[in-house]
């Protein structure tokens, strides 16, 4: 009979026992019901909206329960590791207001890089071998390929299990000989599974039932580094994770993880498998967001555009919890962190990501952000993504805040500000360096009439006029030049007039802003000041 303890000592002769780590990482001293969650990305260099989506769930669960939210870096796959990726993860999430209580450098339950925890994994693997729950497998890649071909030919489930697991009961002597000969090996789980079912209560999806695992999956690779399956189980146990939030693509791995938790004698955390983020294609069909086809999948897209963190968080809650919008209607000015987030209210059938809806929500959210806060946000954005305009934005605080506040008060406030890049494009005509005429004068106005309008406007312009007096002058000027003082007069008798007052004001608007559409001209002039206003009108005279 195989002496499992002897085999375990052969494979891992000098290593601490699991009890050492159990004592090193005790149960957390937190109140009853507090949740411990983690974000555990791989440092591949691509941070996507799904990471933020999941992180927000983790963060809400922990914060609302006075629990702990930590960051763990799953960097055991050296081939996928990208330099600088960890800093990118942290800075990207921080940009959107996601911070951590622990990790990846600080915290009592570290190290938080899996590559620095190899001894821990090997300790638990050694115990599994000693208990006959795992074994060294010396199958070569060619042998495994041959097994796959044989399984395909017989239309059998692919993998190493049952009769295909030829090293399951390898003798100690043979294992020792193989190791002495330098034959590479992995450590495999000795699965107890067969034709039974597992039953798991998912935090989002309710009771899940699926076939139990029967595969002798690899838990340690030939270099002694763990696979994701094994590392995740050991880490979530020792870090005392209570809730594991992850995408539905991991559902197929649940039987493996359940078996590992059970064989190791660990308490199963609450698994919360989130729905995939989907979008509507041109034909109106739902499809998964694609890295190749959808730039909005990347978090960098939102950072580069300058989406405000408050707006993106607000939008994510609308797709995370079905009752958020109802709560928002009842609490129009409430802080989103006052919303009672719940995994039970999350969709399990696919979350539709709608960029147009996000932009609409941005308009509402930005309207509530004071101009001074909005100015600071845009300046911080510009320092990274449009540094050439930073000095303009920092030069005159009062001037910038007046620009950002145009039309944002009253019963029908302006709602056209979406994100930093778009905001600058909306208001860049206030800066002489960016002022350019992009629109044509109305068809009802000839070139000579445009000159006459602008000349007459300069003659009557008084920067001290209030809005009512200013507009009366525009009406008088229109009538004097053959344009209807009221649009309805032109509509009722178009042959009597060259055009109407709207055409006249548009000529002035284009001269001042370079555009045919803009907020109120009088208010814009008050911000531009008399000198710049007159200067731009004069520049437009031909």
Catalytic positions? 291
The upper half-sphere exposure of residue 90, i.e. CA atoms within 13 Å in the direction of its Cβ, equals 14
Determine how β-strand 197-202 pairs with β-strand 206-211: antiparallel
Other CB atoms within 10 Å distance of the CB of residue 533: 22
Cα dist from 541 to 371, 453, 456, 461, whole Å: 34, 10, 11, 15
End-to-end Cα spacing for the chain: 103
For residue 497, give the nearest of 507, 487, 486, 483 by alpha carbon. Answer: 483
Q: Is residue 56 within 8 Å of 98, Cβ to Cβ?
A: yes
Sheet holding 243-247, edge to edge: 68-71, 36-39, 243-247, 270-274
State both tokens at 299: 């978090």
Length of the chain: 542
For residue 341, give the nearest of 65, 36, 42 by alpha carbon. Answer: 65
For residue 151, give the nearest of 138, 166, 139, 163 by alpha carbon. Answer: 163
State both tokens at 475: 């009406």
State both tokens at 134: 């795992």
Q: Is residue 219 within 8 Å of 134, Cβ to Cβ?
A: yes
For residue 519, give the nearest of 429, 389, 456, 394 by alpha carbon. Answer: 429
Sheet holding 218-220, edge to edge: 134-137, 186-189, 218-220
C-alpha–C-alpha distance, residues 454 and 463, integer Å: 15
Other CB atoms within 10 Å distance of the CB of residue 425: 10
Q: Is residue 269 within 8 Å of 61, Cβ to Cβ?
A: no
Q: Is residue 427 within 8 Å of 403, Cβ to Cβ?
A: yes
**Per DSSP, what are the bridge partners of residue 73?**
113
Determine how β-strand 277-280 pairs with β-strand 68-71: unpaired
Run of H or E residues at 437: none
């Amino acid at each position: 009979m195989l002496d499992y303890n002897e085999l375990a000592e052969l494979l891992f002769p000098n290593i601490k026992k699991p009890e050492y780590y159990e004592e090193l990482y005790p149960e957390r001293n937190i109140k009853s019901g507090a949740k411990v969650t983690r974000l555990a990305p791989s440092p591949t260099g691509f941070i996507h909206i799904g990471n933020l989506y999941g992180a927000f769930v983790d963060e809400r669960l922990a914060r609302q329960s006075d629990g702990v939210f930590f960051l763990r870096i799953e960097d055991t796959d050296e081939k996928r590791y990208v330099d600088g990726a960890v800093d990118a993860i942290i800075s990207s999430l921080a940009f959107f207001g996601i911070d951590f209580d622990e990790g990846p450098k600080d915290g009592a339950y570290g190290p938080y890089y899996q590559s620095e925890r190899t001894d821990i994994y090997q300790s638990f693997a050694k115990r599994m071998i000693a208990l006959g729950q795992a074994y060294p497998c010396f199958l070569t890649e060619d042998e495994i390929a041959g097994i796959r071909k044989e399984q395909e030919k017989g239309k059998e489930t692919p993998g190493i299990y049952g009769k295909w697991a030829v090293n399951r009961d390898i003798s100690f002597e043979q294992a020792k000989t193989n190791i002495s000969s330098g034959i590479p090996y992995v450590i495999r789980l000795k699965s107890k599974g067969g034709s039974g079912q597992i039953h798991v209560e998912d935090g989002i999806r309710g009771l899940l039932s699926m076939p139990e695992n029967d595969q002798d999956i690899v838990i340690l690779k030939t270099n002694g580094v763990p696979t994701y399956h094994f590392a995740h189980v050991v880490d979530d146990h020792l870090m005392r994770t209570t809730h594991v939030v992850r995408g539905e693509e991991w559902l197929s791995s649940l039987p493996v993880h359940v078996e590992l938790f059970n064989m190791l004698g660990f308490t199963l955390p609450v698994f919360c498998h989130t729905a995939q983020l989907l979008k509507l294609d041109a034909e109106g069909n739902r499809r998964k967001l694609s890295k190749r086809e959808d730039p909005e999948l990347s978090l960098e897209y939102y950072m580069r555009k300058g989406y405000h963190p408050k707006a993106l968080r607000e939008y994510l809650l609308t797709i995370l919890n079905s009752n958020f919008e109802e709560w928002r209607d009842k609490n129009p000015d409430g802080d989103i962190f006052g919303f009672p987030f719940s995994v039970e209210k999350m969709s399990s059938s696919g979350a539709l990501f709608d960029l147009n809806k996000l932009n609409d929500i941005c308009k509402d959210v930005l309207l509530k952000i004071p101009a001074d806060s909005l100015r600071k946000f845009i300046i911080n954005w510009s320092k990274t993504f449009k540094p050439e305009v930073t000095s303009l934005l920092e030069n005159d605080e009062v001037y910038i805040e007046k620009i950002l506040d145009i039309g944002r008060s009253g019963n029908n406030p302006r709602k056209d500000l979406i994100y930093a890049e778009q905001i600058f494009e909306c208001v860049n005509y206030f800066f002489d360096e960016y002022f350019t005429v992009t629109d044509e004068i109305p068809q009802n106005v000839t070139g000579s009439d445009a000159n006459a309008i602008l000349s007459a406007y300069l003659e009557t312009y008084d920067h001290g006029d209030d809005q009512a007096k200013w507009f009366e002058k525009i009406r008088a000027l229109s009538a004097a030049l053959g344009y209807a003082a009221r649009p309805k007069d032109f509509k009722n008798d178009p042959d009597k007039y060259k055009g109407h007052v709207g055409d006249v004001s548009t000529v002035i608007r284009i001269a001042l802003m370079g555009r045919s559409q803009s907020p109120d001209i009088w208010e814009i002039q008050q911000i531009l000041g008399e000198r710049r206003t007159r200067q731009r009108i004069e520049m437009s005279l031909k």
